Structure 1
Amino acid sequence: MVDVSQHDLVPDHSVVDDDELDDVMEEYGIDPTDLPKIKRTDPALPDDAEVGDVIEIVRDSRTADTATVYRLVVE
């Protein structure tokens, strides 16, 4: 079977730890439930991601070096 998360076109996905999450939520003035959602069954998610975790996705960007987005893992 192919591991989609290791494909060159799939951006880096990582679980945000609690300390960093507090900083991000404070910076944007939001709660994790305000974030866009990503399903737990998404093959790009790290194996240790659980429902309720926040995922940081770092993509290449044409206008900036990288673009960082956050998603809340849902069932």
Structure 2
Amino acid sequence: MVDVSQHELVPEHTLLDGDTVEGVLEEYNIKKTDLPKIKRADPALRDLDADIEAGDVVKVTRDSRTTDRAVVYRLVVE
């Protein structure tokens, strides 16, 4: 069986701590609820900490053709 989270097209997902989240929100002048959403059951989150909860923020780093790396943030929801 194929482990989807290990596929080369799945970008890197990193769980952010509270201080980092506050810095990101302040940098972009937004609220947590303004972030795009990702479901807690998303297969890409499977390799992160088992204690991911709704309300956590995940940093997604993917390859980009125009900029070497593109970074986006997602709010974890149920």
Alignment of 1:50-61 (within 5 A): 50-61=53-64
TM-score relative to the length of structure 1: 0.91
- Amino acid of the residue matched to residue 36 of structure 1? P
TM-score by length of 2: 0.88
Quote the residue 1:5 is aligned against: 5
Query: 2: distance between equivalents of 1:25 and 1:73?
Result: 15
RMSD value, Cα: 1.1
User: How many positions carry a matched residue from both structures?
Assistant: 75
In structure 1, distance between residues paired with 2:74 and 2:25:
12
Q: Distance in 2 between matches of 1:31 and 1:74?
A: 15
In 1: Cα distance, 2:48 partner to 2:21 partner? 19
TM superposition outliers: structure 1 runs of 4+ over 4 Å: none
Gaps of at least 5 residues in structure 1 are: none
Q: Which amino acid aligns with 1:63?
A: T
% identical aligned pairs: 65
Unaligned runs of 5+ residues in structure 2 are none
